[in-house]
Amino acid sequence: MVKISTNQFSNGITLRIDDQLFDMVEFQFVKPGKGNAFVRTKLKNLKTEGVKEITFNSKDTVEQVMVDKRQMEYLYRDGAHYVFMDPETYEQSLVEEEMVAPLLRFLKENTTCLMKICEDEIISIALPDHMKFLVVETTPWVKGSTAQGGNKPAVLDTGTTIQVPVYLNPQEWVKVDTRTGEFSERTSAPE
């Protein structure tokens, strides 16, 4: 257990507060005209993904948790578990569906994900920020059918439906921002 003071805060560190793990998203040191200085923070709960604002006295100490970040490749689903592999050691890890559930809209086999591991336990999994997907179903575009641009629903190869520009047709590849679920651009097929 490592205790740090508020003057050691930095974005991206992981803290344990009330037996919950939080990533530091943002912090601001405030020195008012009167009274004691304090630190205003935004912390992201690693389990619930919720963001919480907490204010610390400038003399407070908090427990910092050492987190190992590892790239792991998603292989396949095995019943209620998802199998990930470390590409360096080939060691496989079974992950509960509850932890993978937020990723399922965009999770595809052979996707390399970033895992945060604390005390030999996987505490979070993140997809790459942008991924390529095949549009498997959408209404075909007919030139001149609309006077101006717009969006239409499209089903991706993972079964997820997103909004895409009207000019896209089935069997085209698109890049999607997995954090927001929004179309980024038309792209070429992955190598």
CB count within 10 Å of CB 82 equals 23
130-187 to CATH, choices 1.10.1060.10, 1.10.1130.10, 2.40.50.140, 3.30.450.20: 2.40.50.140
The pLDDT assigned to 149 comes to: 66
Query: pLDDT class for 120, splitting at 50, 70, 90?
Result: confident
Q: Residue 84 — very low, low, confident or very high, per pLDDT cuts 50/70/90?
A: very high
167-176 confidence digits (pLDDT tens): 889 999 999 9
Alpha-carbon gap, residue 104 to 68, rounded angstroms = 23
Query: What does the pLDDT read at residue 98?
Result: 86
* pLDDT of residue 182 exceeding 60: yes
Contact 123, 46 (CB under 8 A): yes
Look at residue 82 in the predicted model and tell me its pLDDT: 95
pLDDT given at position 47: 78
Topology of the domain comprising 2-65: SH3 type barrels. (2.30.30)
- What are the angstrom distances between the C-alpha of 116 and each of 4, 69, 72? 20, 5, 10
Domain boundaries 68-126, corresponding CATH code: 2.40.50.140
Q: Where along the chain do its domains lie?
A: 2-65, 68-126, 130-187
Euclidean distance between CA atoms 184 and 55, whole angstroms: 36
Q: What is the mean pLDDT of residues 27-35?
A: 88
With CA atoms as reference, report the closest residue to 26 among 41, 39, 6: 41
- At 45-82, the pLDDT tens digits run 887 778 999 999 988 999 999 888 899 999 999 988 99
- Quote the CA–CA distance of 97 and 79 in Å, as a whole number: 9
Asked if the domains at 2-65 and 68-126 fall in one CATH topology, the answer is no
Q: Quick check: 108 pLDDT over 90?
A: yes
Residue 144: is it exposed, middle or buried by C-beta count within 10 angstroms (0-12/13-18/19+)? exposed
